Amino acid sequence: MQTELSNRLGVEHAVFGFTPFPAVAAAISRAGGFGVLGAVRYAAADELARDLEWIDRHTDGAPYGLDVVMPAKKVEGVTEADIEAMIPEGHRRFVAETLAAHRVPELPPGEASGWRITGWLEQVARAQLDVAFDFPVRLLANALGSPPADVVERAHAHGILVAALAGSPRHARHHKDAGIDIVVAQGYEAGGHTGEIATMVLTPEVVRAVDPLPVLAAGGIGTGEQIAAGLALGAQGVWLGSVWLTTEEAGLHSRRLTEKLLAAGPGDTVRSRALTGKPARQLRTAWTDAWDDPSGPDPLPMPLQGLLVAEAVSRIQKYEVEPLLGTPVGQIVGQMNAERSVRAVFDDLTRGFERAVDRINRIAGRG
Amino acid sequence: MQTELSNRLGVEHAVFGFTPFPAVAAAISRAGGFGVLGAVRYAAADELARDLEWIDRHTDGAPYGLDVVMPAKKVEGVTEADIEAMIPEGHRRFVAETLAAHRVPELPPGEASGWRITGWLEQVARAQLDVAFDFPVRLLANALGSPPADVVERAHAHGILVAALAGSPRHARHHKDAGIDIVVAQGYEAGGHTGEIATMVLTPEVVRAVDPLPVLAAGGIGTGEQIAAGLALGAQGVWLGSVWLTTEEAGLHSRRLTEKLLAAGPGDTVRSRALTGKPARQLRTAWTDAWDDPSGPDPLPMPLQGLLVAEAVSRIQKYEVEPLLGTPVGQIVGQMNAERSVRAVFDDLTRGFERAVDRINRIAGRG
């Protein structure tokens, strides 16, 4: 699977794998794809540096990238404490009641919340970037909005390509105007933050909107057949996130969560504001049901909701409270039915792609 | 574009075109596709007979099909008047207020409501079938649920293939158990009634669920590139509905509606219960906004909602009241930017498909 973009990055296959786990990112790059580490959960810059160093030693020289959440709009001098103070008491009560209803134990005294998404705070993302520029990162992706102009400039000065996720042609044009190099068109069916336009429609719309910039198709892609579909739609590559969650290299916090993912069907996800405040596709759980119930409070805007629920998510994960246990994941979760190595998944992807190409050629009478 | 299914039906291209307009259905079949006439708006069996006769004379001998809405569950002795009587007064008031707020004139005295979807009433659908079996219809599609066993038997006795639309693998398995021949996997991005699973995920899930039955991919398909994607996902053909709405042969009630479709972007549709009581994708309008507003009444279940709003829709269409004017249409509406003949659309589809095949072969290194 070679395109102009994959050749430019020097990878064998135009398959980009997004993952929060260093071992998965490195294995994707070793398999001939392009591994991209998600940085949003790294609160401490030195932990990110340690993991990038590990990746760098484990890709056999293959290139890799980093995904940050860099807000284009700067809010000067706002600290985490300032934001915490904006959370209404009623919302804190609702979290406490929901946890109590499912008898979720407290964290032991002295144990801090492990699940804490702070990477979208300006100062945290800036510190992550300072680390990234110390490594031979080849691609910097921005998960929400266009990256600030100075970040794009700095990346380009380091020879790093800049990508940004878009859920609509309008977002995509905005990214292009911001001087980025690659647009990831993330469809409705994707895990994590998504818009309402499905990949089948979004991909060609974005390709047209940002021409001649290369576009990666994201959302609903977890097999080689789906890769062929994304590339047929005009993408120069595909961006896969969910499919790696059940690989052997993934470090999910909870065994029960892995089992839940393996058992889930394509209708078992929901696009909900319950986790971050912005619509993000995730497993449907008693937690998302509670927040999506019109009789309860509305989720708070980002970043308040993420801070509000951080400790709750840690407690749910630590004690594996089944009805509440979830994770961002796309509709392809229905196809994730066995735990396998990244290499095995990758081999399936390339084999499935070749099968799809054979099939299309037969249908086109070129068989 | 030839598959086992298209060969079995004797058509040049595995492209199925669903349309409420006889002239469009005939033109699709003449162009080498398979035209399917939607019967749901025919209240009178003799009008359907007249239009099928017209199609039969205008397809140059090419095959064509009929799409009915045949409820599997029979409700004995329920008339339209019985159902009308179940509509709450508050809902009638809400309709009247919404129309008044937009100054929609009354129909002239004596003019009946033209927009009246009664085809899902058991007795109406049965009368439609009696007509259909008088014509050399090659395919009978059922738009909602599995068709009743006696209808499947009767169709098979006439050598007619039976198709049914499915929005989930579970629906699709149910159809297979009902003895049908073809499943139309209709994704979230489709116009009209849809589930929540996008075409990119739904198609392979349904292919796997009903193997070895042939599957048509529906939803988000309006270009040859999107056809290639649908076929790469394992479908034996594609089912297109929206793209024909802005063809020269289509008989939309309102010029302004055509212009609205041509101007709409991919984000200008909404999945709403405002029109039929079941979630159906349509243009987002002041009408869908009114029904989707949580402060207003909930739409009624099917078939009540369709009966409730029938006269209102006729009035909106007749007087072309712009803010309220809408129609079922899929997210591909953003790609429908020019009024063209069915033949021109079809030529674009085949050319786009060939382009996509070239592209995929280049990426696969078979160029």
User: Is the separation of the CB atoms in A361 and B231 below 8 Å?
Assistant: no
- Judged against a pLDDT cut of 80, whether residue B49 lies above it is answered with yes
Contacts of B189 in chain A (CB under 8 A): 188, 197-198, 200-201
C-alpha to C-alpha distance for B38 and A73, rounded to whole angstroms: 50
Q: Which of residues 268-297 of B touch A (CB under 8 A)?
A: 294
Q: Which of residues 241-270 of B touch A (CB under 8 A)?
A: 265-267
Q: Which helix (H) or strand (E) holds B310?
A: helix B304-318
C-alpha to C-alpha distance for B65 and B155, rounded to whole angstroms: 12
Confidence band of B50 (pLDDT split at 50, 70, 90): very high
Do the chains contact at A332 and B365, CB–CB below 8 Å? no
Count the residues in chain B.
367
Do the chains contact at B197 and A331, CB–CB below 8 Å? yes
Do the chains contact at A364 and B1, CB–CB below 8 Å? yes
C-alpha to C-alpha distance for B45 and A65, rounded to whole angstroms: 63
* Cis-peptide into B212, omega within 30 deg: yes
C-alpha to C-alpha distance for A211 and A199, rounded to whole angstroms: 17
The edge-to-edge listing of strands for the beta sheet with B192-193 is: B192-193, B280-283, B269-272
Looking at residue A332, what is its pLDDT? 98
Looking at residue B110, what is its pLDDT? 80
Q: Which of residues 220-239 of A touch B (CB under 8 A)?
A: 220-221, 223, 225-226, 228-234
Looking at residue A236, what is its pLDDT? 98
Question: How would you classify the pairing of strands B15-19 and B34-38?
Answer: parallel
pLDDT digits (tens, 9 = 90+) for A277-295: 999 999 999 999 999 998 9
Confidence band of A193 (pLDDT split at 50, 70, 90): very high
Q: What tokens were used for B240?
A: 């297109």
As a whole number, the mean pLDDT across chain A is 93
pLDDT digits (tens, 9 = 90+) for B242-274: 999 999 999 898 899 999 999 999 999 999 999
Do the chains contact at B332 and A266, CB–CB below 8 Å? no
Cβ–Cβ contacts within 10 Å for residue A12, how many?
15
3-state secondary structure of A142: strand
Least confident of A4-18, A105-119, B89-103: A105-119
Do the chains contact at A168 and B267, CB–CB below 8 Å? yes
Closest CA to A202 of A219, A185, A214: A185
C-alpha to C-alpha distance for A1 and A28, rounded to whole angstroms: 14
C-alpha to C-alpha distance for A358 and B63, rounded to whole angstroms: 29
pLDDT digits (tens, 9 = 90+) for B85-119: 899 999 999 999 999 999 999 999 888 776 665 65
Phi, psi dihedrals of residue A44, rounded to the nearest 5°: -105, 125
- Comparing alpha-carbon positions, the chain B residue that sits nearest to A219 is B200
Looking at residue B74, what is its pLDDT? 58
- Comparing alpha-carbon positions, the chain A residue that sits nearest to B271 is A196
**Distance, in angstroms, between A76 CA and closest chain B CA?**
33
Do the chains contact at A357 and B364, CB–CB below 8 Å? yes
C-alpha to C-alpha distance for A67 and A239, rounded to whole angstroms: 12
**Distance, in angstroms, between A89 CA and closest chain B CA?**
25
Do the chains contact at A188 and B202, CB–CB below 8 Å? no
Q: Which of residues 314-353 of A touch B (CB under 8 A)?
A: 330-332, 334-335, 353
Q: Does B98 touch chain A (CB under 8 A)?
A: no
| Contacts of A321 by beta carbon, 8 Å cutoff, 6+ apart | A102, A103, A104, A315
Tokens 């097999």 correspond to A223
Confidence band of A308 (pLDDT split at 50, 70, 90): very high
Question: How would you classify the pairing of strands A269-272 and A280-283?
Answer: antiparallel
- Comparing alpha-carbon positions, the chain A residue that sits nearest to B230 is A229
Q: Which of residues 159-178 of B touch A (CB under 8 A)?
A: 168-170
pLDDT digits (tens, 9 = 90+) for B279-336: 999 999 999 999 999 899 999 998 889 889 999 999 999 999 999 999 999 999 999 9
Do the chains contact at B201 and A231, CB–CB below 8 Å? no
- Judged against a pLDDT cut of 60, whether residue A237 lies above it is answered with yes
**Distance, in angstroms, between B218 CA and closest chain A CA?**
11
- Comparing alpha-carbon positions, the chain A residue that sits nearest to B168 is A267
Looking at residue A187, what is its pLDDT? 98
C-alpha to C-alpha distance for A140 and A145, rounded to whole angstroms: 13
Please name each of the domains of chain B with its CATH number: 1-71+120-246 (3.20.20.70), 79-114+252-336 (no CATH)
Do the chains contact at B360 and A357, CB–CB below 8 Å? yes
Q: What is the DSSP string of B97-140?
A: HHHHHTTPPPPPTTPPPS----TTSHHHHHHHHHHHTTTT--EE
For residues B320 and A118, which has the higher predicted lDDT (pLDDT)? B320
Confidence band of B186 (pLDDT split at 50, 70, 90): very high
Contacts of B197 in chain A (CB under 8 A): 189, 266-267, 331
Task: Compute the count of residue pairs across chains A and B with CB atoms less than 8 Å apart.
Answer: 166
C-alpha to C-alpha distance for B263 and B286, rounded to whole angstroms: 17
Share of chain B above pLDDT 70, in %: 95
- Comparing alpha-carbon positions, the chain A residue that sits nearest to B15 is A363
**Distance, in angstroms, between B325 CA and closest chain A CA?**
22
C-alpha to C-alpha distance for A35 and A213, rounded to whole angstroms: 21
Q: What tokens were used for B42?
A: 């025919």
